[in-house]
Chain A
Amino acid sequence: MSLTERKIWSWLEEVKDPEIPVLSLVDLGVITKVEIDKDEKVIISMTPTFIGCPALDYMKKDVEDVLAKNGISNYEVNVSLETSWNSNMISEKGRKALKQFGLAPPPKHNLIVDLDVLENVICPNCGSQNTVMKSPFGPTLCRAIHHCENCKETFEQFKPI
């Protein structure tokens, strides 16, 4: 069977965010390009969520591993800022996965993130909108801490950015 970009995208579905093991890198939106050049070389472009994210090196390694596992030896994985990641790039499937994992997905925004966007978060546990932001910073760079006044649980949110 010949190698297609589509097939590579499906392999990449297996690669999960090391800190959020239910979310694939494809659904996270950090894989920005998959190409096969005329020499059959596979070129994958990735972009970081947060520039200081320590998970990026692991993600890159995991992408390389999945290519190798599928018998690809001629490949290149590049990290580039050409496509600048924002949280709108998380897919619908990704948002559902985040919610099931107990992380509130980031609301879609018009690229202007202000306090209104930050404070309107639905509790991933009970679905209530009666929540308050405790801190825009959390245990990893991409998470904020909120509290639900309805079910009294504190929860984390994948930050809109």
Chain B
Amino acid sequence: MHKRVIFNNRLLPYLLLLPQMMITLVFFFWPAFEAIRQSVLLQDAFGLRSEFVGFENFAHILSDPNYLTAMGVTIVFSTTVTLLAMVPALLLAVLADSGIRGASLYKTLLIWPYAVAPAVAAVLWLFMAHPSIGIIGKALNAAGIAWNYQINGGQALTLVILASAWKQISYNFLFFLAGLQSIPKSVIEAAKIDGARPVRRFFTIILPLLSPTTFFLLVVNLVYAFFDTFGVIDALTKGGPGTSTVTLIYRVYIDGNHNLNLGSSSAQSVILMVIVIALTAIQFRFIEKKVHY
């Protein structure tokens, strides 16, 4: 059932829509169109010479073994970041919601990391994990574990995953907490009276009622892991060692911004665009069916 708003003037609704449309056109559609246009061109850095090459940029990038590696890294990276950012956030939210003493203090403290800029977050992790100046890095080496993320690909990937997930926990915590608080207390109390234990209450009542929030966060976190994490990677590992922490978005950034290869970078953006459109469509088509509003 949709509410109908009656406008007397036929023009007014369009006029009210116009600013939003303008913003969408200028900041979303125009760049996207530019990316598609650039992706079929071969240009020098200064834009002095430009040549139409059709799908050559795509063919080149898709046959590059390093690009396929980056795709694998991205899959591992985004699923782990999403999981590591959501599960602890849910756990913390449930704990903070359970009426412990000083709950509001915990809540405030837990929200803080969200205010930290990605590059600063990365530097914090750098100071903890650096093998010779970081507290944790030094401790690990002293304990006989050869920790050096600058030369060990697996360790480097672990580090960027941890830093990226840590950054997002606060955001998820905030939404989970709001979601939890909007669950009617009467439902939970009824379950208590029926003798359901906390774990059972959580899985049969809280989790299903939380599903709209969880679904929203799933989409947001995947998009975050895909697009917003290159700052962390750039500050921590610059994609290294080897190419073990190069994700698709980091490669777009490097090829476009450092290597000034706009054709290839645009082709990669278009590929990313297609992937994210497909992912979102799948999520809305299949997962949303299981969500109860």
- Pairing of A with B: no
